[in-house]
Amino acid sequence: MKLPLILFYMLLLSCSITVTSQEVNVDERLKPHLNSFFAICNTYNIEYNYKLNELKNITIVDTLASSSKTATLGMLERDKSTKVENILVNWITMLDQQILKIVAFHEFGHYFLEYDQHTCEDCGNIMSVTNSSYFDIANDWENQVKILFEQSPAYLKKQNQLVSRIP
Ligand SMILES: [Zn+2]
């Protein structure tokens, strides 16, 4: 039996798609937060699919430094060429669902909203270096999310492109 050539090509194509597309592994416990983050990206027209597919893992780990005084609550892990491979969240954030959400949004902000820098040392924003009160942020959540997105490098870049396109 001869396989029609077109079918053969289609098979070949579907094989190559399966081989090349690499699925990012998203921790179930972070999925709801990632989904709500992406829903907000949609309202601001911020593209995230390409960046998402560049990652290997978005996950909760027990390997980040924690002591009684300070802890690394989350970080972006890079490969040798400094390309971000993994978004990591410290397991201790799971002790409080609000903290988990804030830390997740902070790390998503670094990566998807292109925050290379923090906005301040400890000013009560999602993108502060540290937060002495997660409670205050959680209580001001909608406003905090608005600040996070509207002051983000990714959003501001888009706004500038729009302005420069107007003759
Ligand atoms: Zn940070």
- Structure confidence at residue 22 (pLDDT): 65
Q: How far apart are CA 110 and CA 6, in angstroms?
A: 45
In what side-by-side order are the strands of the sheet with 57-61? Answer: 25-26, 57-61, 84-90, 74-78
Among residues of the chain, what percentage have pLDDT more than 90?
74
Are the CB atoms for 96 and 83 separated by under 8 Å? no
Residue 29, SS3?
coil
- In the predicted structure, residue 9 carries a pLDDT above the cut 90: no
Where is pLDDT greater, at 131 or 55? 55
CA of 115 relative to ligand 1 center, distance in Å: 8
CA of 76 relative to ligand 1 center, distance in Å: 9
- Structure confidence at residue 11 (pLDDT): 56
Give residue 132's pLDDT band: very low, low, confident or very high (50, 70, 90). confident
| pTM as predicted | 0.84
- Structure confidence at residue 163 (pLDDT): 76
With b meaning 16 or more CB within 10 Å and e meaning fewer, what string describes 65-104? eeeeeeeebbbebeeeeeebbbbbbbebbeeeeebbbbbb
Give residue 18's pLDDT band: very low, low, confident or very high (50, 70, 90). very low
Give residue 12's pLDDT band: very low, low, confident or very high (50, 70, 90). low
CA of 42 relative to ligand 1 center, distance in Å: 23
Cα-trace Rg, the chain:
20
CA of 10 relative to ligand 1 center, distance in Å: 45
- Structure confidence at residue 69 (pLDDT): 76
pLDDT, averaged across the chain: 89
CA of 138 relative to ligand 1 center, distance in Å: 17
- In the predicted structure, residue 16 carries a pLDDT above the cut 90: no
CA of 4 relative to ligand 1 center, distance in Å: 55
Are the CB atoms for 52 and 26 separated by under 8 Å? no
pLDDT in tens, 38-88: 999 999 999 999 999 999 999 999 999 877 778 899 999 999 999 999 999
Give residue 8's pLDDT band: very low, low, confident or very high (50, 70, 90). low
**Residue 87 parent element (H or E):** strand 84-90
